[in-house]
Amino acid sequence: MMQKVLLTAAVTGAGDTTKKSPHVPVTPKEIAEAAIESAKAGATVAHVHARDPKTGGISHNVDHYREIVDRIRESETDVIINITSGGGGDFIPSLATPAAGGNGTDIQTPEERHEPVGELLPEMCTLDCGSVNFGDMVYLSPTDWLRQQAKLVQECGVKPELECFDTGHIRFAKQLIDEGLVDGDPMFQFCLGIPWGADADVETMLYMKSRLPKNAHWSAFGIGRMQMPIMLQTAMLGGNVRVGLEDNLYLDKGVFARNDQLVEKAVSLMQNNGIGVMTPKEAREQFGLRNPHGGGNK
């Protein structure tokens, strides 16, 4: 049988990319349409952030998330919805008062980060597994906060995707598992190439893979020009994959991409190497996800 992987389209993210490419979706309608078009192109999962329709910046407004999710669910295109729970983690110290956040700081409590997930009950959500120097800021996720988030995710029956930006994050994710805060076979994701986390190369990926529990599922993604090389290498190593405008804006050098084009390119590259893509139904069954069409798990 052909090997099949789960393919996620991360359609917008929260970064300052809307001014860099005309194709980054901003409004709830645009984000939902990007998710639907990505699914039609072959994506199994749509990973969504919400943006402020007026500024294009990050939005924590549950109503923005609700509109995105409702539009996807009301469409005739089936796709697994994966909502971020990593909003509100940006800390930029003020030089004048280092203990306080400076301009651009955006910190939410665990309960606030969880609110869109708890309200809308997607099949999946991300759960970042530690703090990291993220470019020129600190992405802040204290361990006790993450324990609270993991418990909230567990209680609402959503499958967490354990996001690991560096090797220590894998150690803490395994600690969450050992403490009984993650149900079923865990799903890990390696976030590679982000300054200043884990490198986007095969050696790093293989090391991170070697540290996983035996029953773990895993995926990886690279950013920028490493998106497609990491995608294909991950699939060939048996992992699940992710592409999309959250991580990379270009289809080819100097050519801006749409999300569905990146999905089509990933599907084609994998097919050329004998690798297929799971349908949402297949993925729900394999990973024990909530079934929004049937009311219960699987």
* Dihedral sign (CA 39, 25, 264, 195): negative
Per residue in 62-120, pLDDT (tens digit) is 999 999 999 999 998 999 999 999 989 999 989 898 888 999 999 999 999 999 999 99
Q: Which whole number is the average pLDDT over 148-169?
A: 98
Query: Which DSSP state fits 165?
Result: S
Structure tokens at 274: 């004998």
C-alpha to C-alpha distance for 18 and 254, rounded to whole angstroms = 16
Report the predicted TM-score, pTM, of the whole model to 2 decimal places: 0.96
Confidence bin at 296 (pLDDT 50/70/90):
very low
Structure tokens at 92: 């930029």
Give yes or no for a contact between 222 and 204, defined as CB atoms under 8 angstroms apart. no
Per residue in 24-56, pLDDT (tens digit) is 999 999 999 999 999 999 999 999 999 999 999
Instruction: State how far the alpha carbon of 82 is from the alpha carbons of 64, 117, 177, 214, in Å.
Output: 15, 9, 20, 24
Confidence bin at 290 (pLDDT 50/70/90):
confident
Q: Is the pLDDT of residue 197 over 90?
A: yes
Share of the chain above pLDDT 90, in %: 92
Planar angle of CA 57, 8, 155, nearest 5 degrees: 80
Confidence bin at 175 (pLDDT 50/70/90):
very high
Q: Which whole number is the average pLDDT over 217-225?
A: 98
Beta strands in 207-271 (DSSP E): 217-222, 240-243, 250-252, 255-256
Per residue in 237-273, pLDDT (tens digit) is 999 999 999 999 999 999 999 999 999 999 999 999 9
C-alpha to C-alpha distance for 62 and 82, rounded to whole angstroms = 15
C-alpha to C-alpha distance for 182 and 153, rounded to whole angstroms = 9
Cβ neighbours of residue 230 closer than 8 Å, sequence gap 6 or more: 192, 193, 200, 205, 220, 221, 222
Q: Is the pLDDT of residue 297 over 60?
A: no
Looking at residue 294, its pLDDT comes to 56
Confidence bin at 293 (pLDDT 50/70/90):
low
Q: Is the pLDDT of residue 298 over 50?
A: no
Structure tokens at 38: 């990505």
Q: Which whole number is the average pLDDT over 184-213?
A: 98
Planar angle of CA 295, 154, 207, nearest 5 degrees: 115
